[in-house]
């Protein structure tokens, strides 16, 4: 169903809404809605361009909202009608928030959340494709976790695909999160070292902030307590091209009259979306799970890296995008998900997400960007699965970070397009 259509910034934007089953094994059961925003250059409105569906990173984040006709959207719209797809549970697709889960028991919530991984996201995409273009094929662009979705698509529905483009999102084929985190913790340490070497004053600023947090109970503007370990989670920024500078400038303005300023605390709140996008926190480890339980992998494996566990402000390192069980106590908006998250951490019968045999037989042209210094998606695992996907052309670069599609979208897409076209 078309909800809205309008022209903005030389783009024709059409908002679509689709009704799909929560559980595709029970199509007569509960329904949810899927929102997708179609973008077409105004000059091409009557031109029969093929579709390119975009899978956003995350998990748990909605598709980007086109503010203006620029970046990767501008480049892609030269050849495609773009479908900005809000994955189930995000944005306008029956979003999962603390408000939307009221009335569900912990067991019901855990069961409900099992339907929000890549497998069902791709089933939703197939439903949308059938409604929009019937038996025709379309192409896929997957960023980060969106690349995990694209790889699942290749594994099980390759006949629906014309081309696939993946940016910073070639997933581990079947690795356990324990091994993945052993690699990514090392990547985070490298980013910390680069950060503190680049901005020498940052170490002193971190020490002062941590020592203050250890001596005082500090509340963020929403009432949450800012603990030292929550402060460490600002390291999520270190893997973005603009993240280190953003963090440095945040730290240097922390104190006013020997107290942490409101502006500093508000900026921390704005940089941490673990609670505003709860799927990211609840299902982050589960997006790797295939017939095994994760059992709070990041929390267990951090004990192998004492560098992150120091209580001395001068030795504090920032962590990355890892999820820890203590977050469901310290983030108020995550508290309603605590017991369900624990149930899911112990779940061992997750479905297989990638079919190695099908990937080896793949006939769909695929181009993937691998970022050598990626802090979030480890290049070793990306290169390993690349060897298992036939008809895949890898472009690896050490000149860009994980967010390159956002920061240098035109360059990234042109580099991938020319590897297939």
Classify the C-alpha dihedral 182-153-164-406 as positive or negative. negative
Residue 201's H or E segment, with its range, is helix 201-215
Active site residue 15: no
What DSSP line would sit under 11-68, residue for residue? EEEEEEEEEEESSTT-TTS-EEEEEEEEEEEGGGTTS-PPEEEEE-STTT-PPPP--S
Residue 246 CA to residue 244 CA, distance in Å, equals 5
Catalytic pick from 144, 158, 281, 297? 144
Residue 315 CA to residue 268 CA, distance in Å, equals 21
Catalytic pick from 26, 46, 258, 349? 349
Tokens representing 397 are 């670069």
Tokens representing 409 are 């979208």
- A 10 A CB-CB count for 395 gives 15
- 59 preceded by cis ω (within 30°)? yes
Residue 221 CA to residue 226 CA, distance in Å, equals 10
Active site residue 402: yes
> Do 144 and 375 form a contact (C-beta atoms < 8 A)?
no
Give the neighbor-by-neighbor strand order of the sheet with 161-167. 2-8, 11-21, 31-41, 81-85, 51-55, 138-143, 161-167, 366-371, 392-397
E strands present in 267-397: 366-371, 392-397
Task: Name the maximum alpha-carbon separation found in the chain.
Answer: 66
Half-sphere exposure of 165 (CA within 13 A, CB side): 23
Active site residue 16: no
Q: Which of 241, 270, 342 is nearest to 299 (CA)?
A: 342
Supply the residues annotated as catalytic: 144, 349, 402
């Amino acid at each position: 169903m078309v909800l809205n259509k309008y022209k903005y910034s030389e783009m024709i934007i059409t908002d679509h809404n689709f009704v799909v089953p929560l559980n595709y094994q029970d199509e007569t059961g509960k329904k949810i809605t899927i929102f997708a925003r179609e973008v077409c250059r105004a000059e091409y409105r009557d031109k029969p361009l093929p579709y390119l569906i975009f899978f956003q990173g995350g998990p748990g984040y909605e598709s980007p909202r086109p503010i203006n006709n620029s970046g990767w959207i501008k480049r892609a719209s030269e050849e495609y009608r773009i479908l900005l797809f809000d994955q189930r549970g995000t944005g306008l697709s029956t979003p999962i928030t603390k408000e939307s889960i009221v009335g569900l028991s912990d067991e019901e919530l855990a069961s409900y959340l099992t339907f929000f991984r890549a497998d069902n996201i791709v089933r939703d995409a197939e439903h949308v494709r059938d409604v929009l273009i019937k038996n025709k094929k379309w192409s896929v662009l997957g960023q980060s976790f969106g690349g995990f979705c694209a790889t699942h698509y290749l594994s099980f529905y390759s006949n629906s695909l014309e081309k696939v483009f993946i940016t910073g999102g070639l997933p581990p084929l079947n690795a356990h999160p324990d091994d993945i985190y052993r690699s990514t913790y090392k990547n985070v340490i490298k980013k910390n070292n680069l950060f503190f070497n680049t901005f020498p004053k940052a170490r002193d600023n971190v020490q002062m902030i941590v020592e203050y947090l250890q001596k005082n109970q500090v509340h963020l503007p929403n009432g949450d307590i800012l603990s030292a370990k929550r402060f460490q989670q600002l390291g999520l920024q270190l893997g973005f091209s603009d993240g280190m500078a953003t963090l440095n400038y945040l730290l240097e303005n922390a104190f006013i009259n020997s107290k942490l300023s409101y502006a500093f605390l508000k900026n921390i709140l704005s940089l941490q979306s673990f609670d505003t996008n709860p799927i990211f926190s609840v299902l982050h480890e589960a997006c790797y799970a295939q017939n095994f339980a994760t059992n709070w992998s990041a929390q267990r494996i951090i004990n192998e890296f004492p560098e992150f566990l120091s209580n001395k402000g001068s030795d504090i390192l920032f962590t990355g995008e890892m999820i820890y069980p203590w977050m469901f106590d310290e983030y108020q908006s995550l508290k309603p998900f605590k017991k369900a998250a624990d149930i899911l951490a112990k779940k061992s019968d997750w479905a297989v997400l990638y079919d190695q045999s099908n990937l080896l037989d793949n006939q769909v042209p695929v181009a993937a960007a691998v970022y050598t210094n990626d802090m979030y998606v480890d290049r070793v695992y990306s290169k390993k699965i690349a060897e298992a996907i036939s008809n895949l052309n890898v472009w690896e670069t050490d000149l860009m970070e994980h967010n390159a599609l956002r920061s240098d979208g035109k360059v990234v897409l042109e580099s991938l397009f020319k590897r297939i076209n």
